[in-house]
Structure 1
Amino acid sequence: MIEIERKFLVKSEDFKSDAIKNERIVQGFLNTDPLRTVRVRIKGDKGFITVKGKGNQSGTTRFEWEKEIAVKEADALIQLSEPGVIDKVRYYIEVGRHIYEVDEFLGDNSGLIVAEIELEDEAEDFLKPSWLGQEVTADIKYYNSQLSKNPFKTWKK
């Protein structure tokens, strides 16, 4: 129930040609408090509810609990969520022995593309493909819970 993850900006769309699959994700937040974020998500044809705890100082490690729920229930909970539903397409790309999950945001976050990689250990080595840009793991503004409140379209370029 501990998640170790690093997050990066994506500097080109070259990842799309290497994707092994993609799926649309719609998610809302019932609580965006950084100490205990509660997310409801419809991913493809499945629903999920997820609770995430506060990240450590580097932002790489935090508590995460997730349970699959019926899509009908997930949809009803999304209707109750805080303003700022996230809509995105997630691409899965194998790079070495890891899978990058690359989110291309839609709607109010259109133009933002972020890659995440889950690791077994914070110090684990991993390959960095050419399309991978600046690391933003510890930058809270790139958390989906924050993008729901302060979408990319409102940022000063």
Structure 2
Amino acid sequence: MAQEIERKFLVKDDSYRQLADSKSRIKQGYICSARGRTVRVRIRDKEGFLTIKGPSDESGLSRYEWERQIPLHEAEELMKLCEPGLIDKTRYLVNFDNHTFEVDEFYGENDGLVVAEVELSTAEETFSSPAFLGEEVTGQVRYYNSFLMKEPYSTWKK
């Protein structure tokens, strides 16, 4: 079983843009967004993906993840089956001191939210933090994309 181990942070400035090695536009929907099991359809630029995620561990750091690339036309058809709400974002990939940080800049009802994730080999693995990393939000459910689809950032009380 594939385990995803990652930590998530708010982003405090836009310096990641100059540090990014690449960026891509992502649109995704959820066929199932039940807590503990999600089925996601994603279109990244011109590629389609289907992802299944299991429940997070108690820390929110690790969970089962299965992902496969699918033909773009199939992803577009599966998007029609998704629950209401769509995640629209640009993902910047920033390589920093032997780790890749995925920085997501959200649009639409989640406009203004920018988060960064770093995937790790083990829960204990250490990493250097780039200057743009802010508060850690690992395990905070409201920052999960499946939650943002239902309760967008624009509806949060600041």
Match of 1:63 in 2: 64
- The Cα of 1:78 is off from its aligned counterpart by 1.1
Q: What code does the residue aligned with 2:60 have?
A: G
CA distance in 2, matches of 1:108, 1:76: 23
- The Cα of 1:36 is off from its aligned counterpart by 1.1
RMSD across aligned C-alpha pairs, in angstroms?
Answer: 0.6
CA distance in 2, matches of 1:51, 1:39: 6
- Aligned to 1:73, the other structure's residue is in SS state helix
CA distance in 1, matches of 2:109, 2:75: 21
Match of 1:145 in 2: 146
**Aligned ranges for residues 14-93 of structure 1 at < 5 Å?**
14-93=15-94
Q: What code does the residue aligned with 2:89 have?
A: K
Match of 1:114 in 2: 115
CA distance in 1, matches of 2:20, 2:54: 30
Unaligned 5+ segments in structure 1 are none
CA distance in 2, matches of 1:35, 1:22: 29
TM-score for the superposition, normalised by structure 2? 0.98
Identity %: 50
CA distance in 2, matches of 1:55, 1:103: 20
- Aligned to 2:60, the other structure's residue is in SS state coil
Unaligned 5+ segments in structure 2 are none
Q: Which deviates more from structure 2 when the two are superposed, residues 70-79 or residues 108-117?
A: 70-79
- The Cα of 1:29 is off from its aligned counterpart by 0.3
TM-score for the superposition, normalised by structure 1? 0.99
Give runs of ≥4 in structure 1 deviating > 3 Å.
none
CA distance in 2, matches of 1:119, 1:155: 29
- The Cα of 1:45 is off from its aligned counterpart by 1.5
Match of 2:155 in 1: 154
- The Cα of 1:92 is off from its aligned counterpart by 0.2
Q: What code does the residue aligned with 2:48 have?
A: G
**Total equivalences in the alignment:** 157
- The Cα of 1:50 is off from its aligned counterpart by 0.2
- Aligned to 1:17, the other structure's residue is in SS state helix
Q: What code does the residue aligned with 1:91 have?
A: Y
- The Cα of 1:151 is off from its aligned counterpart by 0.3
> Are 1:13 and 2:10 counterparts?
no
The CA deviation string for residues 80-123 of structure 1, in whole angstroms up to 9 with x for no partner, is 10011100000000110000000000111000000000000001
